[in-house]
Amino acid sequence: MTVQRDTVVKDLAKLHFTGDSNGLIEGFNVMVNQLPTAFWNNFSERMMAMVPESAKAELEADLINCAYECGYHTGYGIITSNEFQSVVTPMVTEGAKDVLRGAYAVFTAWGWAKSGIVQVKEGERMVVRAQDYYEADGAPGSNRAFMIRGVSKAFMELAFAAPYPNGMHTFECAQTQGLESGGPYGEFVVEKK
């Protein structure tokens, strides 16, 4: 592996985001917000608690989809950005696999999760582990890292599916371990549909 996650995270985490004169943050071809993690957790936890059992699977899919589209479009913006080109691209020697590793370093730098890829089979399967992630905050319960699931499948599609924007709905991501459910880490397995 040639992409040095900690180096990338250290460099990219220095990027400072705050509103411009319009109170807006533009970057990576998207508009960026910076909100308390409690907001995102409150919403997903309260919604899951609110819907009847018969609606939980659909709501879960909806919550994952919110992050999935974010991950796909923002992820594309990230890997084609000047910052990525200057910090990560010089470390890329293994093509798409390294771009994916770089994308996960950015994932970490943005505060989404302290995470890294543990295994990747090009075009087929990827396993990601997260040692710390905000979605695990709060009361223990069942696995609920919907954002990581959505973004993970998006990143896999950016690396190995048809070129953006035509590569969507090619992979799925399951959460197989969770800090929130008492596991040693969060584990996410992305596989081709």
Q: 143 is written with which tokens?
A: 């696995």
Residues counted in the chain: 193
From 1, 4, 11, 30, residue interacting with other proteins (rule: CB under 8 A): 30
Residues 147/137, Cβ–Cβ less than 8 Å: no
Q: Counting contacts by CB under 8 A, is residue 62 touching other proteins?
A: yes
Q: Counting contacts by CB under 8 A, is residue 104 touching other proteins?
A: no
Choose the binding region for other proteins from 70-78, 156-164, 173-181, 184-192 (rule: CB under 8 A): 70-78
From 11, 47, 92, 164, residue interacting with other proteins (rule: CB under 8 A): 47
Strands 186-192, 25-27: pairing kind: unpaired
From 4, 83, 92, 114, residue interacting with other proteins (rule: CB under 8 A): 114
From residue 152 to residue 181, the character string flagging contacts with other proteins as x (rule: CB under 8 A) and all else as - is ------------------------------
Mention every residue, 6+ apart, whose C-beta is less than 8 A from residue 67: 146, 147, 148, 149, 150, 151, 154
